[in-house]
Structure 1
Amino acid sequence: TIHKAQGSQWDTTQVFAPDIYAAARMGRVEAGQPLWKRLAYVAITRAQERLIWVVRNRLAKPSGPLQVDDLKAVPAAALTLETQENTPA
């Protein structure tokens, strides 16, 4: 979520414009700023290289039931364990 992303960055960030629009319709204000402006700013500034702005007219219903097979399999990143020796300063 946008609020949980605050303080973090990723290479690619995806923002759903309908969510920003819904926040604008609520009319909430936080710290003297409209909530939708704060959300948009945080969402946009999380992207380091690429921002994907998803708008309503590009969203589509699936043509059939969703299956587990529809999820893209991403290989797990290799983890390495490094040891550090305590050395006096």
Structure 2
Amino acid sequence: AQGSQWDTVQVFGPDIYTAARMGRTEAGTPLWKRLAYVAITRAQERLIWVVRNRLSKPTYPLTIDDLRKVQASELSLAMQDAEND
């Protein structure tokens, strides 16, 4: 079964590098290949591959202004019978 797909997917190269150095193999496939494949196939529009020399401190304060505003759904509570616990 295929998982969720996203417009933009970010892959952190050092994580893939670490997985490759671990030498783990699952189902006959190296772990780093599986991680890379899953990340690549989840991107619908854009894939951002972050390499080690690009990881640094931000040059300006990070904000949440660009995050999508999602309305929280209402919660409802219902009492259960003691027999159904």
**TM-score, with length taken from structure 2:** 0.71
Kindly state the Cα deviation for residue 60 of structure 1 after the two structures are TM-superposed. Answer: 1.0
Q: Return the match for 1:76 from 69, 72, 75.
A: 69
- Structure 2: unaligned runs, 5 residues or longer: 73-85
Deviation readout 1:24-54 (Å, 9 max, x if unpaired): 0000000000000001000111100100000
Stretches (4+) displaced over 2 A: 69-75
Give runs of aligned pairs for residues 17-56 of structure 1, distance below 5 A. 17-56=13-52
Aligned residues: 70
Measured in 2, the distance between the counterparts of 1:75 and 1:31 equals 38
C-alpha separation in 1, matches of 2:11 and 2:53: 14
* Identity rate, percent: 74
Alpha-carbon distance in 2 for matches of 1:62, 1:76: 23
RMSD (Å) for aligned C-alpha atoms: 2.3
Alignment partners' CA distance in 1, 2:34 and 2:68: 35
3-state SS, counterpart of residue 4 of structure 2 = coil
Please identify, of 53-62 and 30-39, the stretch whose mean Cα deviation from structure 2 is larger.
53-62
Which structure 1 residue ranges, 5 or more long, are not aligned? 1-5, 64-68, 80-89
Normalization by structure 1: what TM-score?
0.68
